[in-house]
């Protein structure tokens, strides 16, 4: 742990980013959202929620002393997301997790015509984050799955948008314009890099993406891991 903290402390000294959310802002946002979730009397018994990352996210990030709020790895991971968006230089974009990755969402909204997915993240975002400076459209999962409406040059999404039905990632891919980039966050898992990985649904998801004829797939295992999929516009379908 100490090695890791030192490693990232030194690493962030050599990078410069555009709009990563400050840790203090992230903690404040997470506390507000967590307080709201508490009012809903969500069943958080072990049998109901287990150890799912998405369910405990705001509990974790609202704790000032938590590892993820004290380790500069936070900036390193967020910088990798930002780099991908800026180098793709998209005109249109889709973002599915503005409450998790608010800095990236803000950057996407400033530099592209952004659409947000109609999910619980949008609800949190509209309740606790957005102000009059934000400009975006929305799209439902039903519209994504029917592949109707606007297509995007860049999609920033979360593994958990499609984990319950890995085949549905194809619909997200099909919403890309030719040459577009899909960046899927939180695609790491401890056993994803072991022989056992072939039995996991995350492995299956990557095989689905690789089997699309016009796809190019990369995986960056640092942080919570990122998978990139580019839609190769030169391949005739």
Partner 1 sequence: MSYNAAKDLEYIEEQLCFYLLVLGLDGSELRGYTIDEIINKARLLTPLPIKEYEEKDDKDPIYLYILNQRVSLIGNIRRLWYFRQLALGAFTYGI
Residues that bind partner 1 (CB under 8 A): 37, 39-40, 42-43, 47-50, 52, 54-55, 118-120, 122-123, 126, 137-138, 140-142, 160, 163-165, 196, 199-201
**Minimum CB–partner distance for residue 88 and partner 1 (Å):** 25
**Minimum CB–partner distance for residue 158 and partner 1 (Å):** 11
Given the complex with partner 1, which of 71 and 119 has the nearer CB atom?
Answer: 119
Q: How many other β-carbons are positioned within 10 Å of the β-carbon of residue 26?
A: 21
- CA–CA gap between residue 116 and residue 137 (Å, rounded): 6
Token pair for 142: 């039903």
**Minimum CB–partner distance for residue 126 and partner 1 (Å):** 6
**Minimum CB–partner distance for residue 147 and partner 1 (Å):** 15
Given the complex with partner 1, which of 70 and 150 has the nearer CB atom?
Answer: 150
At residue 100, φ and ψ (nearest 5 deg) are -80, -55
Given the complex with partner 1, which of 9 and 138 has the nearer CB atom?
Answer: 138
CA atoms within 13 A on the CB side of 224: 19
- Asked whether the beta carbons of 135 and 73 are under 8 A apart, the reply is no
Given the complex with partner 1, which of 64 and 196 has the nearer CB atom?
Answer: 196
- CA–CA gap between residue 169 and residue 190 (Å, rounded): 22
- Asked whether the beta carbons of 26 and 61 are under 8 A apart, the reply is yes
């Amino acid at each position: 742990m100490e090695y890791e903290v030192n490693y990232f402390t030194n690493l962030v000294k050599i990078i410069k980013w555009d709009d990563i959310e400050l840790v203090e802002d992230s903690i404040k946002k997470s506390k507000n959202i967590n307080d709201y979730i508490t009012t809903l009397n969500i069943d958080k018994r072990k049998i109901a929620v287990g150890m799912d990352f998405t369910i405990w996210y705001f509990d974790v990030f609202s704790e000032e002393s938590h590892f993820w709020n004290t380790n500069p790895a936070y900036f390193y991971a967020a910088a990798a997301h930002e780099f991908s968006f800026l180098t793709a230089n998209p005109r249109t974009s889709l973002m599915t997790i503005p409450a998790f990755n608010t800095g990236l969402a803000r950057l996407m909204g400033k530099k592209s015509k952004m659409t947000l997915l109609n999910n619980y993240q949008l609800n949190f975002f509209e309740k606790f984050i957005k102000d009059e400076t934000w400009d975006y459209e929305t799209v439902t999962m039903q519209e994504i799955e029917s592949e109707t409406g606007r297509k995007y040059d860049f999609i920033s999404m979360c593994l958990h948008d499609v984990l319950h039905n890995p085949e549905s990632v194809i619909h997200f891919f099909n919403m890309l314009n030719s040459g577009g980039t899909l960046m899927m966050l939180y695609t790491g898992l401890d056993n994803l890099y072991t022989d056992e990985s072939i039995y996991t649904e995350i492995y299956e998801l990557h095989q689905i993406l690789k089997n699309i004829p016009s796809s190019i797939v990369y995986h960056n295992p640092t942080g919570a891991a990122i998978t990139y999929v580019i839609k190769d516009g030169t391949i005739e379908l």
